[in-house]
Structure 1
Amino acid sequence: MGIKDLSIRNKACCLKLIWLKFFQAGSVWVAWFREEILQGSVSNLWITKPSQRYSWQVNKILKLSGELFPCIKIRVENGATCRFWTDNWCPLGCIRSLLRSATLGIPNNTTLASLYYNGRWLLPPARSEAQVNLQVFMTTITLTQDEDYYEWEIDGKTSNRYSTGQVYNKLREEGPTVPWHESVWNKRGIPKQSFMTWLIVLDRCPTRDRLLRWGLQTDPSCLLCNSAPECRNYLYFDCSYAWQIWLPLAQRCGLLPQRSWSQVLIQMQALSSRSPLGMLTLLCWQSCMYWIWSERNSRFHRQVYRSPDSINRLIDRQMRDKILSFQSSNPIISSRLMQRWLT
């Protein structure tokens, strides 16, 4: 998971809000949005463009509408609210995009109901393969007396409920996979420590080398040992202070400790978060990463200093508490982890 994944997660949550507000339960604000921005029809959500006249929130919704369109299907019943050109009612996609420059003599706001008369569709003769395919599909539709309605659809599966997880996976399908995913994001990890480890792996933390690249004036020396310029690769674990923390912890987990950042990351990637020893080591590694960065920040912002031994004692207490927290859900795993940690 990377920075892009976080933005995708945020986007999936925003799409959920649009779905719930505009296509499920409305609100006073949605009623205003529909009348003032969409000119009375939610179908205009797909064609209304952002404008400097609108607020940031309104423009955000309009910008995301294109990504929501493939997932919002309007199911045709009486065709009274379904727009021929712009609603997502046909498996061939948006008809405006399908037929491109062809207008067929049909106005922009035409509904399907207005094109249906005495059981027949009032369409001009087809002049392209796309028009033929469209007319073939339309012969399978018979309008009823019921109202049109919206459904959520992903990969051909429809639902009346929105799944943020499904949408997230759909949005990130084309994203590259990373070998360290399971090392950082495992279900038994401490969330804030997993998040911090993720930032460190991506080299997104404001180490002094990054501050200097941003044009900020600062002493380049490592805040923990003052022996070399501070950067992510030096901090983990070439720094003598950080090494005094990682060395005994790695040995405690039965790991041959490495000082090179790339080598340590390779070691973590080789572990299985499903095995007791792998789980223990990953928890310990993430705790170490977190508290080293915490100590660095304490010195930078508050001039508060702690020894490597005090950090190790803190990590030991946290590891014991975390292992004990597994007792209710999996007492066997909890017992094995504690035996290993205390050995």
Structure 2
Amino acid sequence: MASKHVCFIVGSQSPLQFWTDPSHPNGPLSAQSSITTSFIPQKASIAEAKFQGGWDLIQVLPHLQELKQIINSGLFTKAANSNPIWKPESDGNFRLRSAWNTVRSPNPKPPWVSSVWFAGHTPKFSITAWQALQDKLSTRDNLHFLGPNHDRSCLLCNSVSESVNHIFFNCSYSAWIWQVILRRISERRKQKKSLSDEENWIRSKFKKKGQTYTLVRTLLTASIYLLWQERNSRLFQKKKTHKRFLLSRIISATRSRILALKLEDEDSEENQRISNSFNLPLFSKATDPKFCHWEPLAAYEIKLNPDASLASDTASIGGLLRDHLDWRPSPRPQGYNPISLLC
């Protein structure tokens, strides 16, 4: 399959054989009975046929047009060796991405991609969410082929038929968990009718990348993963977890992930409120320095600015001193940013 995407830059001392080299898609030229000529010796290399005799002989042999077309598609150089080139890439270098694109049929990305495969996602959470959004989880509703006597009741609430849209989040067990999470992100509403609707709401409401963007998506994928784990635990191990404990596990897993990422976000009221509800620090994005007015100091007085650092993960102190003659900036270490002397 890949051979049709590879060709050789043939050098003047290339050992590749003109008639017996197997790189042609249909096999060696010698095996193709329609292509024969006595002008090129049987043991001639491609380099000998090209650089010594040229391709002029093909011009006068109309019955070798197929051979001419095959040969003219190659690339030749005066270099000594032969080098393979990867035709899908303009520079001839092989790349796994272009190889993958040559053997697959690309399809447009589904809209929920940004809610599942976002930067900083947790792989095991995202894989389960990816399956759920495509309705590929082995819910009892999807296992109808087991027969009409197969129990289809939900393992979380033991009531209606178990399906993806029921488990996430219309089951009484999961609906309570999701309602608490929605209240924590300052959203008071009923759960949507389907998982796709919930994902679409998150994608539409939280568009700007940052800590809150990643937080709400991690909450969604973690909820899907841990609810599915709880469902399987009840089915295979006969173990049940109270919904309050499962909620605690979802929030704990989400907090651990966000704290590890240390993402920045705008210092808006909404972002601050959501971060506080999950007991998370909000790392504000650096903004342009603001200059403020300093009241005149009396002689020998000192004013310190303890919040002078422009970085979110460091701290520094800037200060101004005044002696009895004039204003003078306080001594500072080498490399100290003088702008931090201004609040």
TM-score, length-normalised on structure 1?
A: 0.64
Map of 1:42-121 to 2, 5 A cutoff? 66=1, 68-77=2-11, 78-81=13-16, 87=23, 94=25, 103-105=34-36, 112-113=46-47, 115-116=49-50, 118-121=52-55
Q: Secondary structure at the match of 2:143?
A: helix
Contact persistence 2:154–2:161 (CA under 8 A): yes
Equivalent of 2:121, from 189, 194, 198? 189
Unaligned stretches of 5+ in structure 1?
1-65, 89-93
Contact persistence 1:186–1:273 (CA under 8 A): no
Equivalent of 1:149, from 79, 83, 86? 83
Stretch moving more, 304-313 or 72-81: 72-81
Aligned pair 1:235/2:167, yes or no?
yes
Distance in 2 (alpha carbons) for counterparts of 1:193 and 1:307: 21
Distance in 2 (alpha carbons) for counterparts of 1:225 and 1:112: 74
Distance 1:83 1:292, change over 3 A: farther
Equivalent of 2:217, from 282, 286, 290? 282
Distance 1:118 1:108, change over 3 A: closer
Distance 1:227 1:273, change over 3 A: farther
**Percent identity at matched positions?**
22
Deviation readout 1:91-150 (Å, 9 max, x if unpaired): xxx587xxxx88332699985246347342353624598666556666x74665x23222
Deviation readout 1:301-330 (Å, 9 max, x if unpaired): 000001111111111111221121023xx4
Q: Secondary structure at the match of 1:325?
A: helix
Deviation readout 1:155-182 (Å, 9 max, x if unpaired): 32322xx543443455456323211111
Structure whose CA Rg is larger: 2
Map of 1:256-267 to 2, 5 A cutoff? 256-261=189-194, 262-267=196-201
Partner of 2:340: none
Distance in 2 (alpha carbons) for counterparts of 1:297 and 1:248: 23
Unaligned stretches of 5+ in structure 2?
281-343
Contact persistence 1:320–1:338 (CA under 8 A): no
Equivalent of 1:323, from 229, 253, 258? 258
Distance 1:309 1:207, change over 3 A: same
Q: Secondary structure at the match of 1:323?
A: helix
How far does residue 215 in structure 1 lie from its aligned partner after superposition?
4.8
Distance in 2 (alpha carbons) for counterparts of 1:293 and 1:229: 15
Distance 1:164 1:253, change over 3 A: farther
Distance 1:283 1:273, change over 3 A: farther
Contact persistence 1:76–1:82 (CA under 8 A): no
How far does residue 206 in structure 1 lie from its aligned partner after superposition?
0.9
CA RMSD of aligned residues (A): 3.7
Higher helix share: 1
How far does residue 276 in structure 1 lie from its aligned partner after superposition?
3.3
